[in-house]
Amino acid sequence: MYLTEEHDMIRKTVRDFAEREIKPVAQELDEKAEFSIPLTKRMGELGFFGLRTPHEYGGLDMDTLAYVIAVEELARIDSSQAATLAAHISLGIGPIMNFGTGEQKQKYLPMLSTGDALWAFGLTEPDAGSDSRATKTNARLEDDHWIINGSKIFITNGASAINKGATVQVVSGEQNGQKEFSTILVDADTPGFKRVPMHGKMMWRASDTSQLFFDDCRVPASNLLGKRGEGSHIMLSTLDSGRLAIGAMGLGLAQGAFELALAYAKSRKQFGKPIAQFQVNAFKLADMATKIELARNLLYKGAWLKSNNLPYAKEAAMAKLYCSEIAREVADEAVQLHGGYGLMKDYDIERFYRDQRLLQIGEGTSEIQRMVISRYIGCFE
């Protein structure tokens, strides 16, 4: 209903790239927990990082649905590479594109749309996750500079060699006895700004996850993103958009897990016939296919609404919730169909099963999505 020739072209381009260049190395990168700069730059060369950036800044200026399809197709093969793209566009480029001044856009967007530079989104802290207002990282204005102190954790794209900085939520003062939140653009080479990779992850092992530390970082006052005191609004509206990308990751992972399960079930024989022909397994696969199609329709509706400047926050929360939960269900059933082989690292489904687990946690837990949805449907009126 919503798809155009442009959307079909994006799907084909990303799928071909993922099959040809990511799939052969995905298992090795996961095993080594290695972030791939070459793959990231290749995605840049193909225009993936500029999908949503306006033409005037060197981007392709495509709609949200095209972006969602790109993330979906990457996640169908490898969630780590999908996470790199999704976090950079939704959380890195998004806030600057939507709230930046003309000067800020001109400085950052051309660079961030090439794949040669990544940008991070500094919201989560050791004591501030679902409760973003528990932020402790603070900034004070002094001699036309913001002096920032504090730390962030679980930040995607924050510590690789091609990271160029982060958008950071800080406590910038008080308003009527309440914390005042602002967002500030912090360049990677700012003195006192330290970026540390996080290791030992169960999932997304080939993506870059980091901690950020700020020790009297002096940032020009002109690096304030949006107006002072609008930090929470900027961050939360950014998360609304990001939920569509996480939904796309869930959808793509579910599709990939289903395809692995179907292929295995058609080739594996027991009692003289393929296990796909046993009704219990055929029905599992039928249910998986149905759930994926439902998830796709819900997600694409949310993306279409956003592309057409219509209210979409409720649908984004629903899509994030449902696609994440379906990724869990499909990956679990896919492992079951693989039997003992599904528990071995030689089989891609083992990686898919691990990678899906973050989807119910990152960018708003499933519990938080249910809170958001319950407010939209009037439970607290």
Active site residues: 363
The answer to whether the CB of 37 falls within 8 A of the CB of 362 is: no
Closest CA to 76 of 267, 294, 292, 239: 292
Segments of 97-208 assigned E as strands:
118-122, 138-142, 145-156, 163-175, 178-187, 193-197
Residues 6+ apart with CB under 8 A from 309: none
Closest CA to 220 of 132, 107, 112, 91: 107
Pairing of strands 178-187, 269-270: unpaired
- How many CB atoms lie under 10 A from the CB of residue 253? 31
d(CA 170, CA 212): 13
Amino acid identity of residue 160, one-letter, is S
d(CA 87, CA 73): 15
Packed helices 79-86 and 64-75: angle between N→C axes, nearest 10 degrees: 150
First-to-last C-alpha distance (Å) of the chain: 35
Angle at 88 between CA 8 and CA 66, to 5 degrees: 15
Segments of the chain assigned E as strands:
118-122, 138-142, 145-156, 163-175, 178-187, 193-197, 209-220, 224-225, 269-270, 273-274
State whether residue 139 is helix, strand or coil: strand
Closest CA to 119 of 155, 85, 86, 88: 88
